[in-house]
Structure formats: C-alpha cells, structure tokens
A and B are shown apart, each in its own frame.
Chain A
Amino acid sequence: MASGEVKLIGAWASPFVMRPRVALNLKSVPYEFLQETFGSKSELLLKSNPVHKKIPVLLHADKPVCESNIIVEYIDETWSSSGPSLLPSLPYDRAMARFWAAYIDEKWFVALRNFLKAEGEEEKKAVIAEFEEGNALLEKAFIDCSKGKPFFNGDHIGYLDISLGSFLAWLRVTELAASYKLLDEAKTPSLCKWADHFCNDPAVKPVMPETAKLAEFAKKIFAKPQA
C-alpha cells in the first residue's frame, strides 16, 4: 500500500541517509526531510528507532523503517509500480546485489574509514593495500553485475549502485585529506566511469553533498582537541 505521508529523519552529510533519498527520488515519491542537529538526537528519532537510535529512519504513515539498505528495499517493494525496479528481477542477481551491499558496508567502508586513522608508513601501506584489494573486487563485481550497462543494476540506478554511490562524497573528502587517489582510472576504469554516471544522475545530484561543504564539515567533526 503506497498511500500515506512519507517522512525521512536524517542529516545531509550522512551517506546512509543519502541512500533512501536517492531511492525516493527514483520512485518520484515526495517526502518531508526532517534534519537532525549534529550532536543531538530528537525525541522523534529516539521514539522511532529505540533499538539503535540512528538515522536514517523512514516514517511511512507514521510507521518507522530503519537501516538504510532495508529502507531502500522497502521503498522498492512499496512503490513497485513507480519508476524503475531497484533490485534485479532474477533471484541470483538479487542475491549478488545483497552480497556486495553487505561487503561494501562491512569491509570496504571500514577500510575507507581506516584510511585517515592510519599512522606511520607501515600502517598506511597496509590500509592502502586493503582498500585497493576491495576496489579490485568491486571492479570485477561491477563488470559481472552490469553486463555491459552503465550501472550495477543495468540501465538504471539500483540498490547496489545506491549502496556504493552513497559513499562517493566521503571518498572524495578522504582523497583530499590523504592526498591520495582512492578511485584510480588506471586501476578501476569501470568503477570510475560508473561513479561519473552515478553522480550525474538527476535522482542523485540534489542529495549528493558538495565536496567542499563536506570537507568543512569533516574538519569540524574530526577536529582533534588542542593539546
């Protein structure tokens, strides 16, 4: 049942919040964006996600759905007759999409986060190696899943595109801070082309944080206290 008011509790800088926003845009579903203030959690958030107290939370006719990838599937299933399908139609391809989305959150993103934390040459080398290994896997996964089309999901952006694409702004901020090219055309040409297509998609452009603005924000939240 697709009727009922849609609200999304989130924050502009969060890659996880970006996921349902892209999905709602792809399905042309209007929604009210309820921005959380950084550093505090609203009553509504705590009431809607008492288990994790995290954003994003989708409220559909006041019923909460939590966890970004789960929200994207919910959006796809609820507004199934609107816009493109966000998941592939074959069960095997769907299993692949879910597998890689889990890999991205559990391994790839963790390696990305570790990039800025790494101290010393040895640790930096290890983090780079881990991250590049992940990129190589995703490059191959892209070739396997896309089957020659522009997106992991084929002709249109889908679940897996959203899962990885939501991290691109933070990836760029990390590249600036580390002075290192994390997505290299020479090493992962398909992923680079895909990233370009993703960022230019009309469903993505309005909700992708600007790199400069995000870099400022990152400086603020990761600022180390003065000694």
Chain B
Amino acid sequence: MAAGVAAWLPFARAAAIGWMPVASTPMPIPPQDKRKTKEGLIILNVSGTKFQTWRTTLERYPDTLLGSTERDFFFHEETNEYFFDRDPDIFRHILNFYRTGKLHYPRQECISAYDEELAFFGIIPEIIGDCCYEEYKDRRRENADRLQDDEDMDMKNDAAPVNLTFREYLWRAFENPHTSTLALVFYYVTGFFIAISVMANVVETVPCGTLPNRSKELSCGDRYALAFFCLDTACVMIFTVEYLLRLIAAPSRYKFMKSVMSVIDVVAIMPYYIGLVMTDNDQVSGAFVTLRVFRVFRIFKFSRHSAGLRILGYTLKSCASELGFLLFSLTMAIIIFATVMFYAEKGSTATKFTSIPAAFWYTIVTMTTLGYGDMVPKTIVGKVFGSICSLSGVLVIALPVPVIVSNFGRIYHQSQRAEKRRAQRKTRLARIRATKIRSTNAYMRYKQNGLLFDSLEEASKESGQALVRKALSPPFESQHHHLLHCLEKITNHEFVDEQTFQANCIEISVTNKSGSRASSLSSSPHGLSSCCSRRHRKKSSFSLPSTNNQELSTIQIRERPVTNSRSSLNAKLDETVPLKCDKPYITPSMVSLSAPVVTSSDGDGSTTTSAYFQSNIVRVSAL
C-alpha cells in the first residue's frame, strides 16, 4: 500500500458509507484515533529547509501555487510559516524561478521527480530557459520511451491468457519460440534443417573423385545425385510445411505475404518445385541450373533465429542514405579518375587502358586499395594520377563508414537496454507481487489479532497480547484493515491468501471427483470445479453454495471447525443469504449472537441455526 495515498484514506473510509445500506450484519468497530493533530517576508518551510522571500516576489506569478491564495492551504499557524512536505533541493530551483524569472533544469535530478514538483507548484515546463530546455526535452523523451516500452511489453505479455484461438496460439508460437516447448522444438528443428540444406548445397559442388570409366572429375552432387536429391526433398518439405503453417496462422495474410521473410521463404523453396516440374526439358535446363543459385537464399532464413543478423539488416536499411552517399561519391570519383587515366595512358604502346569503361576496373581496384596488378599505368603522368587515385580512394571510403558503424552501435545498444529492461521487469513484477502478498498477510494477521481481541472472556488472556500487537501497528494500517474488514462483512466473504485459496480449490475438486452427494437440488458435475476457473468463463447454472460448503466443511480445512447441520442449510437456501451459514469459522462472537436475530425475521426456524452457532462458539475457544 503506497503511503502516498495515505492522505486519501479518509476519503476511502467515508466512501464506505456507500456500502452500509446493503449490509446485513453489523460492521466492526473502527480503531480509535488517538492522536490529534496546526512587505513583508514569507517563510517557506520545505521539509525543514527554510526559505525566505518577499511576498511580492511570489506574487509575481499569480497563476502558480505560491503566487495565489492556494498557498493558504499550506499555512501552519503554530509556527507562522508555510509548510510544504516536498523535496527542498528541487524547490530551490522553483523558488529561483520566482526570483529571476528563469527556470532551470538540474541535470542530476530525475526527470519524473522534477516534473512532479513542477506540476505540484503549478509551473508549466515551457518556461524552462533556453540553456536547459534541450536537455529537459531529451530526458523527457527518453522517459516516455521507457514507459511506452513497458506498455508494449505489458500488452504483449498480457495476451498470455487462455482465450487465444488456435490460430493466434500458433502465430504466437512462431513469433516467440520461448512460449512453449513445442515452439522451441520447432524453432531448433527448422534451424537445423536450414544449416543442413545450406551445407548440402555447398558440398555438392566439391569434386569427389572420378568414376572408373570416365576421365572427367565429378562433383559430389553428380556422383551421389540420389542422396542429395533426397536430402533436398526433405529440407524443402520442412520449409514448405513451415511456410504454410505460418501462412495459416498469420493474423493478416496479405501483410505476411508482403513481408521480407516470407519472400525469402518462397524464393528458397521455389527452385525445387520448378525443378520438379521441368526436369525433362533440356532446353530450359540451362536456365534451371541458374535457378539453383537462388537456393543459397536459404541462408537468409537464419535471420529469424539470430537477432544480430536482424539488427545488421535493420542497420543497413536505416543507413540507406549514408550508403547511397557512399555509392554516389565513389561513382563520381571513379568516373573522374578513369577518364584521366585513359587520356594519360592513351599515348603509351600496348596499353591495357583501351577505353574509359575499361579504366573503371583499374580505378575501382586502386581506390579500394586492392591493387590486383592486372592493369598498371606505364607513363609518368599515368603513375602520378594513379597514386593520387589510390590516396583519394582511402579518404572517400573512410568517411561514410563510421556513420554506418555508429548507427549499428546505437541500435545494438538499444536492443541491449530493451533486453535488460525486460529482465528487470520480471523482478519488478515479482516485487509488486511480494508487496501485495505482504499487505494481504498483514491483513490476515490483523484479523487474527483483532478477533482474539473482540471475542469475550474466553480469549481474555490473548487479548492482552493482542493489545500489545495492535499498538505496534501504525494507526493508518489499522484503519485500512478496518476498512477491508467492513468490506468482508458486507459481502459475507473473506479475503484469503493465494495458497489457502488454491488449497480450497484443490480440495473442492477432489471432493467432486469422489462423487457428489445426492441432494435435493440439482447440481451439475462440473459446476464445483468452476470455482477455480477464471471468472469470465461462463458458468453453468450451478446453484449450490451451501451444499458446496457442507462438502468443504467435511474436508478438514485447516484451523476451521467443521460441524454443519445439513438439513438446516438446505432449508435455508432459498431464504436468507446462505453464505451466512457458510462460515464455519466464526470470528467475533457478537456476530454470531446477532445473526440469528436477522434470520429469524424471515420466519425461519432459527433454533437449528442457533444450535449451529453455539456449537461453533464452543469451537472458537478450542482454537
């Protein structure tokens, strides 16, 4: 329970009056509130740090908190100063704004803390001075990104519940192999087959020795043609099945078919099918051989398996403009130098520089500092320009490359941060859950203490201890617990923690399996297990709360007494709220005494119930 909303507890308690008319039992007594709590210069006391300023300074900006009558709400009469329970370090900047008219953003402060203070004091962030504005904006954007990422993660992970259709489930399994073991297996199998297929393509071109009656060396592919064909068939079948499954599961088939990965998939398996169709036609078999080149595209299928490959591809895509610039400047330089070299070498005999396009090859090889040596200038002028060409090549290529590299670095680091945030999210959620469980447990403990305190002399010894325990808990906590207790009373149900609830569910379903007893009311066999199902599932018309609890009570639920008079429960089912009798666990005895009063107003025989309750009173002392 955040202490920040402690100030709203009075509101929550007052709003509880809205539940009172629907209550059928009296409410528990609230805890006693023992503590009672009070041109010229203005003293502003911010969490102990005293600031002083002139009244007129503050009134310069009448539409903020400090400049308007809103500050009267914070006036503390006893010390004759304005007290604010806020951060004094950030307040310094806010007060400086009134003094100098310029608002600055301190770099070491957290952006959300700063924004909160600004909002509290009614200052719009736009008036941050130019000196600090850029920094403020950047930090704010980063923060917003982080929140957006968290929301996306939330939405992605909240799709976990059971209500996925088979198609959605399949798609999720494909996109996120970690969701189920089947998906993981599928992921690894496809990866394995991609590797096998690519290796087969490579190996089948290796020369494998000659057959005895032939002089020409055969490649492995020709020698073991059948084996390679079978391997290829197997791989293509797996890929086809995968592609079809993805196509079926895709939420938007058209979008899926347009995506890069699906194009790669198609290109990877097409050559095989085309080959199957066209095996007997000699004329096109030449073209068919070329088609086999496309089989190498199977290696791109690995990008589904490797995040780094995806980042690389994404970097290249995002650096398209830098790459374009690189290409353009290179082309310009190539044309210039090729022309110069051609005309320089025109005079020399038996020159290789036969035309400008022929000189392109020399220029490219020289600018990229490859220097094959198949084309060299022979004249002095040619050599001079050749050296200028190689020097400039280094410069032209070195300039755009760092931009691409830094882009890659930035995207890679972003992915690292997102991974870290995802990992931290698990611990964050665990922390939130732990806090919830702690508050529930605190409430359970309060109830046990409080009940022992409220019951009559039977528990007087324990009341002494309970008093001590109660005094130790802060008044805010006890008030909150009292509020939760009122809610329990209104609805006649109790809060329990996760383990007890699961245990109850298991026990109920166990009883159900062992055969439901015959009862005067109809019960559907799967109704009992519905208590464990999620609430939004439609339940069958099951109307046996009391029988349910009677079965519950015959199972030894820990710490709870067990007797239930079955006939009385059945008789009362249609009358009062049967849940009242569902509590074999009786807490304050004053409740048990007054309950018969209410039930007797329905004209029912309350003798059985009072006997029931009395038997339970006896049980309480045995606890």
Partners in one complex: no
